[in-house]
Structure 1
Amino acid sequence: MGSDFTINMNEYLPLRDLVFNTLRQAILKGELKPGERLMEIQLAEKLGVSRTPIREAIRKLELEGLVLMIPRRGAEVAKISHKSLQDVLEVRGALEELATDLACQRITDEQLTALRDAENHFKAVVERGTEMEIAEADEAYHDIIYHATGNQRLIQMINNLREQMYRYRLEYIKDEAQRGTLISEHEKILEAIRIRDIIRAKALMKEHIDNQEMTVSKNLNEAEERSRQAAGKR
């Protein structure tokens, strides 16, 4: 367990919630990887806590579907499934299309400038950044579109889904062959929003999300096939 994550201290939260939030973030960001075993003693030592809040956090993570309890093996990080991928991206797609529609109507000149700056930053980070930095730059680009809607309820709904989306965003970005496509899609969406072409902007955003689902699904299939082949050679 070599992942470099630490507990996120917050004086207003009880320790069990701090541990839960820390482990949840580590899973969603890929710091704890799918299939990785969660050893209570090692995690307790790493975070500097007793085993009790670790055990409580693992139970809650199991309820969220982020952890699986395997007989005679214990807890491990749940692998990404095709169903969970589809469920999250269907919701994200609908919210993103609505956000794009509203942003086309309401975006200000200052926000357009910020969106251009965010895209330039994204391109720079793709060239030299880590996977997590690229994911965060991608998230920052989309955040500007969300805030351009001026709809706080919509922004809140998207934020509620943010952490679940992050896991799939990171999986997509791990595929280096798709990074050029991401840049191109961002550019096209930005231009459609700039000229306030609602129909084109929404179609481009749908394509953007659909490509993410297809790529991650393809990579899942390939990973499953490699696992089957490896098992057959044993």
Structure 2
Amino acid sequence: MAASGSPPHGRRPQLPEEVAVHIREQIITGQVPEGEYLRLDQLAEDLGISVTPVREALIALSAEGFVELEPRQGFAVAPPSRQDLEDIFELRALLAGGLAGRCASRITGERLRELRELQRELARVHELGDGATATELLIRFHRELGKASGARKLAWFFELASRYAPREQSLAAAGWPRACVRDHDAVLRALENGEPTAAEETTREHLRTLGRLLIEHLDARNAWPDRQ
């Protein structure tokens, strides 16, 4: 399968750099999942260009770690390495902390009530063992924090970084929903008390904890024996 969708800016990409931008965005947004093979001829046909700039774009993306060239099979979307996940969660922690810190000085009572309601629902579905719904509520919680912060670009970057975190593996990590329930309570207390520093630090530690739980889960399953 090839990356598809509308070319960037509504026109055909011509240079390898433009093709790389298009394919990279498809990978980042999850439209092309890890392990998927990217066929040069299909990509060229979809984009209405020759194979040459597509090949050069994939070589560039290989150097960036987005794809891997497998002998006699072609380019495949690369899974994240252990270091990738550590970096992704550290980036998410820094971004989410910044958003929470800004929220503490400007969040409204109505928004706090909405977050508290999300938190109560998260605790409820955790008790029911509904991991999929718990994950969706976690995403909504941080999305609402982003809205309340007023920092739209920072919130957008957090959403972008979050797309790299594997959801299904996260659901299977021991202690993940419990950590969300516990840590969100601490974040909400800081927001309710109007404490930007506490909100920022608590949120950062929360995301770092989630990253650690996921990596420990994958370590135990030897998920990346050749990708340390």
TM-score, structure 1 as length reference: 0.68
Matched, 1:74 2:78: no
Identity %: 17
1:211 to 209, 212, 222: 209
Deviations 1:118-173 (A, max 9, x none): 32344455547564x544432221122222223x3xx3034134233222262433
Aligned ranges 1:76-155 → 2 under 5 Å:
76-123=76-123, 126=126, 127=128, 131=132, 134-150=134-150, 152=151, 155=152
- Alpha-carbon separation, structure 1, partners of 2:37 and 2:110: 46
* Secondary structure of residue in 2 paired with 1:224: coil
Q: Is the 8 A contact 2:143 2:155 kept in 1?
A: no
Structure 1: where are the runs of 5+ without partners? 229-234
Task: Tell me the secondary structure at the aligned position of residue 72 of structure 1.
Answer: coil
Q: Is the 8 A contact 1:15 1:53 kept in 2?
A: no
Contact 2:101 2:199 in 1 (8 A): yes
Instruction: Name the one with the larger helix percent.
Output: 1
Gapped regions of structure 2 (runs ≥ 5) = 14-18
| 1:25 and 2:29 are equivalent in the alignment | yes
Alignment partner of 1:168 is 2:165: yes
Cα 1:50–1:204, aligned 2, differ >3 Å: closer, same or farther? closer
Aligned length: 213
Q: In the TM superposition, what whole-angstrom CA distance separates every residue of 1:150-209 from its partner, at most 9, and x where no partner exists?
A: 3x3xx3034134233222262433425421221221122112211223444333212201
Contact 1:168–1:216, Cα closer than 8 Å, also in 2: no
Q: SS at 2:30's partner residue?
A: helix
Give the ranges of 4+ consecutive aligned residues of structure 1 lying more than 6 Å apart after TM superposition. Answer: 9-12, 15-19, 50-54
Q: What's the Cα RMSD here?
A: 4.0
Query: CA 1:95/1:39 → structure 2, altered by over 3 Å: closer, same or farther?
Result: closer
**8 Å contact from structure 2 (residues 96, 158) kept in 1:** no
Deviation at 1:58, TM superposition (A): 5.2
2:10 to 13, 21, 46: 13
- Quick one: distance in 2 between partners of 1:120 and 1:52? 52
